[in-house]
Structure 1
Amino acid sequence: MDRVLTLIRTAEDFARRAHGDQKRKFTGEPYWHHLQEVARTLLQYSATPDVVAAGWLHDTIEDTDTSYKDLVLAFGPVVAGLVVEVTDVSRPDICNTPEGEGNRRLRKEIDRQFLAGASWRGQMIKCADMLSNTADIVANGGGFARIYVPEKKALILSLEKVRTASYPIWREAYDQVVRAEQRLACAA
């Protein structure tokens, strides 16, 4: 097995172990299906092996007990850095109102500003992630889709670097969000 395939397979194995028995929120399918879909989308758009590996790993810091240091040790600073670029910096326990209720709008604005500063390669991972998540949430997320889709519209419009460097994946993500908006408008 060559070095490129080894990197991607190692990232897949690491991500599957890290996410363990986690399930997708709205479908109940194994979480790794989402990670696989992100990696396949990145491959479809000719992403480099380190980007594909980071696609497999993109939720490990956010959703598992994996740390940045763990990723650096296993994959090096480039892949670990890409994962950090797409990891939410806000947390539900911050940006709370005085009543202790999470302020989702503020958290999503913080995350959107952070992602706007990511490299185009990090933004490419986010586009692949959005493609997977938007389809899933619109199909299975019920009322949450009405919250999620406008957030993603604002996010995709802030991803200028990938729009310039890898327009086709940005355009697919943008078009999917617009279709989701239209579908929700027709259902209202």
Structure 2
Amino acid sequence: MTKLTDKFESALVYATRLHARQTRKISGVPYIAHLLSVAALVLEAGGTEEEAIAALLHDSIEDQGGKSTREEVGRFFGEAVVAIVDGCTECDTEPKPPWMERKQRYLTNLRHASPSIRRVSLADKLHNARSLLADYQLRGSSIWSEFKAGSEGTLWFYRELQQIYTETGSDWMTEEFIRVVQELEQKK
């Protein structure tokens, strides 16, 4: 059983402040709700405190400052956390590379990633898929217009992720991800 320390509490405060002005793309829900959900999934899947901290910070480098944020995360929470966050980061530069290039690189890196990176990635993508399904149930197919790649590209990416998660060690989160993606496929 994972025991959380004041380091987790510090990460929670840091993530809350870092993402204070950010909301979810479609629902407008405060972004911290996503980070809390990802951390909860990691812990429920038997993750370590470092993985749970990385779950809280998994979008910090990409969305909130790039290299300078990476340095802060390393200083405050250690290199093991930074390594997991880096593994979950599509890019740390502005402007971002093209969508397909980012997704292909993410998939390639995920195939060879550590179990810790895959656990946090899976928790992130599972929560994203669940949120997308909830948004669909509220707003219908108009949600797909919020995504650069629309329904086709988004679902292609989820299918590719599903294959990697299955090949690298299936667990209850993988099974749930597959179920949610199948439901999304039926609604495209």
Give me the TM-score of the superposition, normalised by structure 1: 0.82
* C-alpha separation in 1, matches of 2:45 and 2:89: 21
The code of the aligned residue for 2:38 comes to V
2:84 corresponds in structure 1 to: 82
1:47 corresponds in structure 2 to: 47
Q: Would the aligned equivalents of 2:74 and 2:82 in 1 still touch at CA under 8 Å?
A: yes
2:154 corresponds in structure 1 to: 148
Once the 2 structures are TM-superposed, how far is the Cα of residue 89 of structure 1 from its aligned partner?
Answer: 3.2
2:36 corresponds in structure 1 to: 36
Q: Would the aligned equivalents of 2:126 and 2:173 in 1 still touch at CA under 8 Å?
A: no
The code of the aligned residue for 2:178 comes to Y
The code of the aligned residue for 2:107 comes to R
Q: Would the aligned equivalents of 1:152 and 1:177 in 2 still touch at CA under 8 Å?
A: yes
Q: Would the aligned equivalents of 2:133 and 2:180 in 1 still touch at CA under 8 Å?
A: no
1:90–1:171 CA distance, 2 compared to 1 (3 A): farther
2:61 corresponds in structure 1 to: 61
1:178 corresponds in structure 2 to: 182
Once the 2 structures are TM-superposed, how far is the Cα of residue 137 of structure 1 from its aligned partner?
Answer: 2.1
Total equivalences in the alignment: 173
* C-alpha separation in 1, matches of 2:94 and 2:161: 18
2:17 corresponds in structure 1 to: 17
1:68–1:92 CA distance, 2 compared to 1 (3 A): closer
Q: Would the aligned equivalents of 1:116 and 1:160 in 2 still touch at CA under 8 Å?
A: no
* C-alpha separation in 1, matches of 2:111 and 2:104: 10
Once the 2 structures are TM-superposed, how far is the Cα of residue 107 of structure 1 from its aligned partner?
Answer: 2.6
The code of the aligned residue for 2:91 comes to V
Q: Would the aligned equivalents of 1:51 and 1:121 in 2 still touch at CA under 8 Å?
A: yes
2:139 corresponds in structure 1 to: none
Give me the TM-score of the superposition, normalised by structure 2: 0.82
The code of the aligned residue for 1:183 comes to K
1:111–1:75 CA distance, 2 compared to 1 (3 A): same
Matches within 5 A, 1:118-137: 118-137=113-132
> Percent identity over the alignment?
26
Q: Would the aligned equivalents of 1:15 and 1:56 in 2 still touch at CA under 8 Å?
A: yes
The code of the aligned residue for 1:105 comes to M
Q: Would the aligned equivalents of 1:89 and 1:110 in 2 still touch at CA under 8 Å?
A: no
CA RMSD after TM alignment: 2.2
The code of the aligned residue for 2:13 comes to D
Gaps of 5+ in 1: 96-101
